[in-house]
Amino acid sequence: MTISTIFLLTLFSVIYGSGATHHLFINLQTLSSDYSSNQPYRTAYHFQPPKNWINDPNGPLRYGGLYHLFYQYNPKGAVWGNIVWAHSVSKDLVNWAPLDPAIFPSQPSDINGCWSGSATLLHGNKPVILYTGIDPMNHQVQNLAQPKNLSDPFLREWVKTPKNPLMAPTSANKINSSSFRDPTTAWLGKDGHWRVLVGSKRRTRGMALLYISKDFFNWVQAKHPLHSTLGSGMWECPDFFPVLNSGQLGVDTSVNGDYVSHVLKVSLDDKKHDYYMIGSYNAAKDVFVPDEGLNSEFVLRYDYGKYYASKTFFDDGKKRRVLLGWVNESSSVADDIKKGWSGIHAIPRAIWLHKSGKQLVQWPVVEIEKLRANPVNLAPKLIKGGQLVQINGVTATQADVEISFQVSKLGKAEVLGYLTDPQILCSKKGSAVKSGLGPFGLLVFASEGLQEYTSVFFRIFRYQHKNLVLLCSDQSRSSLNKNNDLTTYGTFVDVDPLHEKLSLRTLIDHSVVESFGGEGRACITARVYPTLAINDKAKIYAFNNGTSDVNISRLSAWSMKKAHIH
């Protein structure tokens, strides 16, 4: 038994031995689930509660040596509704113990809902949460809650200020009361005043409204938003943080200077994806200035599959910035109700600026590697066009696979006449479409006879004297159940295929295929629900379906142990 397991068991007895209180949620819709015991799609090491609906991660923070995760949760069913802030704690971001909900409707300013928000550590290491409440008029307002007992490392009880709401739409500020939500972690300006962002829009112009406060209770709206873009629609869950210009360490959210860049991330409600821009924070003018060359539109995404409402926090223990995100289901609502749950969180990712300065790099937190067991390592080998190499010796539904390909000549790369949306390119050229260089990659959740499989692969193109590397996650054959969303995802990866290896790491977890290409430069998360490739029937292969041979320079795979999550 590991130290962390002992710790968590102690935690469980502390929590449940003390007679946990059960709050009643009045006045809320109920949708009971026909909870099924046959659960091939429940994850083993991705965060999810025992049942019901979850969405956004909220208020992540590290306090008293513990990581705290709050999340949007429906205690009554597998569809959205009755939302409370559920609360779990962890020593390692891998194993989690549940606590009672931290925030639930209890005062006029949140009686119709307790939606997303963030935590900030005030002077003297005092945590405070700002979150969106839905008031009796169904207006979105911003509220504050503080821990009742700072000596309690579990931060079990949260007290709302009677001054709530602290920010609200009025006839004077002309804020749309249906488009005013998701406060960020606050940061300190040079003037010693706190600043916080709230997502909003005016007609089609999406924006991050800026509020300023001396004492964290009295907030004044700044004249200008921190940033806005025409046509982007509602900005949900904004996140604004500095990243060091070099290296992989993270810094506190209030840090500014010429050695950092700033990242503005928003969840675009119209597109249902998380986008970010890299730029600088002009503290004198209190505006975000996107870098030249990087489009002023939102182009870059954290993840080119399913990933939404994400949020970072600074981990002052390991000096890193950690990203958490929600991954929704691709199954039908009827199937969600049948299985009794919906939604998971992605593996927490460390996040830093790539040395090019042009994008972020994301990598699963190192702690997840503690779950690795039964390593399988393949000696470097050639994989011929049309060849499949089975990866034996790992649990194919619960695995971590790292593979690297090396190509020595690029002459055979398919010429691309014009630049196309990479996702469309991936949909047109799935794993069955051969080209000079690619597709090559992994087949996961593959059934005997390949009636079902999900393919994650590279394909190299020549476009105007440049080599373009495409990374695809093709779900079109992932399940014989066609009620699922089988959309193919794809993105270009900024790697030089002649001088760099084409690396791919895929975390496989029963219904999750979470892929990291180019050492974290391109992430694609997919959800799949195979009907044949389940339990011990699933297989993993490396494959090359291009006309040229390629070398596998590295292949390491592990079975993943089950994490202790609830």
Ligand X SMILES: *[C@@H]1O[C@H](CO)[C@@H](O)[C@H](O)[C@H]1NC(C)=O
Write down the least CB distance from residue 149 to ligand X, Å: 4
For residue 353, what are its two tokens? 């600026």
CA distance 283 to 226: 10
- Those residues whose C-beta lies under 8 Å from the C-beta of residue 3, and which sit 6 or more positions away, are none
Q: Does 100 bind ligand X (CB under 6 A)?
A: no
- Look at the chain and count its residues: 566
With the C-alpha atoms ordered 141, 79, 99, 368, is the resulting torsion angle positive or negative?
negative
* Residue 265: count of CB within 10 angstroms of its CB: 25
Number of residues that bind ligand X (CB under 6 A): 25
The whole-angstrom distance between residue 512's C-alpha and the CA centroid of its chain comes to 13
Residues 301-320 that bind ligand X (CB under 6 A): 308
Write down the least CB distance from residue 323 to ligand X, Å: 16
List 112, 200, 228, 328, residue binding ligand X (CB under 6 A): 328
- Those residues whose C-beta lies under 8 Å from the C-beta of residue 165, and which sit 6 or more positions away, are 109, 133, 135, 141, 142, 143
Q: Does 152 bind ligand X (CB under 6 A)?
A: yes
Q: Does 434 bind ligand X (CB under 6 A)?
A: yes
Q: Does 159 bind ligand X (CB under 6 A)?
A: no
Write down the least CB distance from residue 474 to ligand X, Å: 8
Write down the least CB distance from residue 152 to ligand X, Å: 4
Write down the least CB distance from residue 414 to ligand X, Å: 14
With the C-alpha atoms ordered 367, 553, 306, 493, is the resulting torsion angle positive or negative?
positive
Identity at 314, one-letter amino acid code: F
CA distance 360 to 243: 9
Q: Does 427 bind ligand X (CB under 6 A)?
A: no
List 73, 241, 543, 558, residue binding ligand X (CB under 6 A): 543
Write down the least CB distance from residue 517 to ligand X, Å: 18
Q: Does 330 bind ligand X (CB under 6 A)?
A: yes
H helix runs in 310-417, sequence order: 333-339
* Residue 463: count of CB within 10 angstroms of its CB: 16
With the C-alpha atoms ordered 448, 450, 456, 459, is the resulting torsion angle positive or negative?
positive
List 188, 294, 549, 554, residue binding ligand X (CB under 6 A): 549
CA distance 519 to 325: 19
List 88, 120, 179, 559, residue binding ligand X (CB under 6 A): 179
Q: Does 272 bind ligand X (CB under 6 A)?
A: yes
Q: Does 149 bind ligand X (CB under 6 A)?
A: yes
x-or-dash string of contact with ligand X, 215-254, rule CB under 6 A = -------------------x--------------------
Q: Does 448 bind ligand X (CB under 6 A)?
A: no
Write down the catalytic residue from 56, 274, 303, 335. Answer: 56
Q: Is the CB of residue 103 less than 8 Å from the CB of residue 114?
A: yes
Q: Does 151 bind ligand X (CB under 6 A)?
A: yes
Q: Does 443 bind ligand X (CB under 6 A)?
A: yes
Q: Is the CB of residue 208 less than 8 Å from the CB of residue 226?
A: yes
For 5, 158, 535, the CA distances from 19, given in Å and listed in that order, are 22, 18, 37
x-or-dash string of contact with ligand X, 492-531, rule CB under 6 A = ----------------------------------------
Write down the least CB distance from residue 153 to ligand X, Å: 7
Q: Is the CB of residue 361 less than 8 Å from the CB of residue 355?
A: no
Judged by beta carbon, residue 43 or residue 253, the one nearer ligand X is 43
Write down the least CB distance from residue 331 to ligand X, Å: 8
Write down the least CB distance from residue 55 to ligand X, Å: 7
Region from 32-40, 121-129, 175-183, 276-284 binding ligand X, contact rule CB under 6 A: 175-183
* Residue 482: count of CB within 10 angstroms of its CB: 6
List 551, 554, 556, 561, residue binding ligand X (CB under 6 A): 551
Write down the least CB distance from residue 192 to ligand X, Å: 30
For residue 198, what are its two tokens? 């709230």
Region from 84-92, 115-123, 144-152, 345-353 binding ligand X, contact rule CB under 6 A: 144-152
315 is catalytic: no
Q: Is the CB of residue 412 less than 8 Å from the CB of residue 553?
A: no
Region from 33-41, 96-104, 191-199, 543-551 binding ligand X, contact rule CB under 6 A: 543-551
Q: What is the largest CA-CA distance in the chain?
A: 69
With the C-alpha atoms ordered 448, 452, 457, 463, is the resulting torsion angle positive or negative?
positive
Q: Does 6 bind ligand X (CB under 6 A)?
A: no
String of DSSP letters for 263-281: EEEEEETTTTEEEEEEEEE
Residue 192's Cβ-side half-sphere holds a number of Cα atoms within 13 Å equal to: 3
Q: Does 382 bind ligand X (CB under 6 A)?
A: yes
Region from 148-156, 365-373, 394-402, 500-508 binding ligand X, contact rule CB under 6 A: 148-156
400 is catalytic: no
CA distance 41 to 528: 8
List 545, 555, 563, 564, residue binding ligand X (CB under 6 A): 545
The whole-angstrom distance between residue 177's C-alpha and the CA centroid of its chain comes to 27
- Those residues whose C-beta lies under 8 Å from the C-beta of residue 205, and which sit 6 or more positions away, are 228, 229, 230, 231, 232
List 432, 483, 496, 562, residue binding ligand X (CB under 6 A): 432
Write down the catalytic residue from 110, 135, 474, 509. Answer: 135
List 408, 417, 465, 499, residue binding ligand X (CB under 6 A): 408
Q: Which residues make beta-bridge pairs with 468?
A: 461
Point out the residues that are catalytic: 56, 135
Chain residues that interact with ligand X, rule: CB under 6 A: 149, 151-152, 176, 178-179, 234, 272, 308, 328, 330, 382, 407-408, 431-432, 434, 443, 455, 485, 543, 545, 549-551
